[in-house]
Structure 1
Amino acid sequence: MRTIAAIGAVTGGVFLGGCGVPSANTGSVSPASAGASSEAAVPAEQKPAPSWGQRYTWKSGLAIELAEPVACKPSSYASPPNVERAVKVRFTIVNGTDKPYEAAALAFGNDVQFAGAKAEPIFDSGGSCGGGGLDAATVLPGKTYTYEQAYAVGKGKGELQIALQPDFASDKAVFVGQA
């Protein structure tokens, strides 16, 4: 049994080792609802993280914009319960590719942090924080899709970080700003 577990561990390590971790912020950053960025020639390690009101464009032409977070008050039926403070962020997907994009593939909910800790998404169909984020949607080439997601954050202002990745092969767009 130990031999099988050891072989599985080695094989799994080799398999996962080849996958690698996607890099972050290697696309271009520009003002929201703008054209191409002039930052394309800047090396990734020198590029600043995008923030609220900016557009991040992946090499494929798909882009994302995040609006500045706004306060919202979860209803008594919201999940998680007893949230000290909540903020709602508006996401806009801009499909600059030549193929339809399935918005549900945008992996955003598992990598949101506030002041260095996980920020929980809020599901609140009856309150001002909203129903809970992204619905399944097909975004045709040249079209946009907008949705909102609320997060439970700490009592005071702090840094909110939201990492988004449109597919497993693309880099992560890591938005950072005050909330």
Structure 2
Amino acid sequence: MKSLTVLASAVAAAGILAGCGTPSVNQGKVSDASAQAGQPVAEPPQLQTPTWGQRYAWDDGLAVEVAAPVECNPSDTASPQNAERAVKFTITVVNGTKKPFDADVLSFGADAQFNSTTADPIFDLDGDCGEGGTPSATVLPGRTYTYEQAFAVGEQQGEFQLGLQPTFMADKAVFLGQA
């Protein structure tokens, strides 16, 4: 009987911990990127899916903007090889917090999908798709940092989903649009 009580307590605790540890999606504020360039957001969050050219802001004042994708041509040395088509995004980090922010952390929670399948990042040191990988920059309070990231996509235009997360447990900003 004692082992059943211990087991029931362990199951209940696991359920409580599982609920506490799951970050949510798009709980921050979405606005036009150009409307508030470099300015922190102080309004309460609205549930909305951002798209290209909009800004997603977390409650602490950190924000991210993703410009509409443009096609790029991977070089012969790009990885992955033989992409049907490639698109490149310009991503801007806006630090409206009171602390420095390491931009490489933002990519820690990045996920990319094209037409509901994984979109592989392109690493292209010799071509116009860019070197790819994680940006290595510290963004001071009140400053912005912009970098580019390319992905391999299908031959025809389709739906692209790009998720970014500033810390492991933070809400994920998920951008959605055509690419």
Whether these two folds match at TM > 0.5 is yes
1-side partners of 2:78 and 2:117: how far apart?
A: 20
Q: Which residue of 2 aligns with 1:105?
A: 105
**In 1, Cα distance between equivalents of 2:115 and 2:103:** 28
Match of 2:84 in 1: 84
Residue type at the aligned position of 2:18: G
Q: Could you tell me which runs of 5 or more consecutive residues in structure 2 were left unpaired when the two chains were aligned.
A: 1-6
Pair 152,163 (structure 1): closer, same or farther in 2 beyond 3 Å: same
Distance in 2, Cα, partners of 1:61 & 1:54: 15
Moved over 6 A (4+): 36-39
The answer to whether the 8 A contact 1:108-1:163 is kept is: no
Structure 1 residue 97: deviation in Å?
A: 0.4
- Relative distance call for 1:19 and 1:79 in structure 2 (3 A) is farther
94 and 110 in structure 1: CA distance in 2 versus 1, 3 angstrom threshold: closer
2:136 is matched by which residue type in structure 1? A
Equivalents in 2 of 1:164, 1:176: separation in Å? 12
Cα shift at 1:33: 3.1
- Cross-structure match for 1:26: 27
How does 1:124-135 map onto structure 2 within 5 Å? 124-135=124-135
* Letter of the structure 2 residue corresponding to residue 167 of structure 1: T
SS in 2 for 1:107: helix
Report if aligned partners of 1:121, 1:132 keep a CA contact under 8 Å in 2: yes
Query: 1:108 Cα deviation (Å)?
Result: 5.6
Q: Deviations over 1:29-81 (max 9, x none)?
A: 11003337797364x3xx2x100000100001000000000000100100000
CA positional deviation for 1:168: 1.9
Q: Distance in 1 between matches of 2:45 and 2:133?
A: 34
Query: Helix, strand or coil: the match of 2:24?
Result: coil
1:134: Cα distance to partner? 3.3
TM-score by length of 2: 0.84
The sequence identity of aligned pairs, in percent, is 57
- Aligned-partner Cα distance in 2 for 1:166–1:14: 26
Q: CA deviation at 1:21?
A: 1.9
RMSD between aligned alpha carbons? 2.4
Offset of 1:111 from its aligned partner?
1.2
Counterpart residue identity of residue 27, structure 1: G
Q: Deviations for 1:68-96, whole angstroms, at most 9, x for unmatched residues?
A: 00000100100000100000000000000
Q: Give the letter for the 2:50 counterpart.
A: P
How far, CA to CA, are the matches of 2:83 and 2:109 in structure 1?
17
* Count of aligned pairs: 166
TM-score normalised according to structure 1 size: 0.84
Gaps of 5+ in 1: 1-6
Q: Which residue of 1 aligns with 2:68?
A: 68
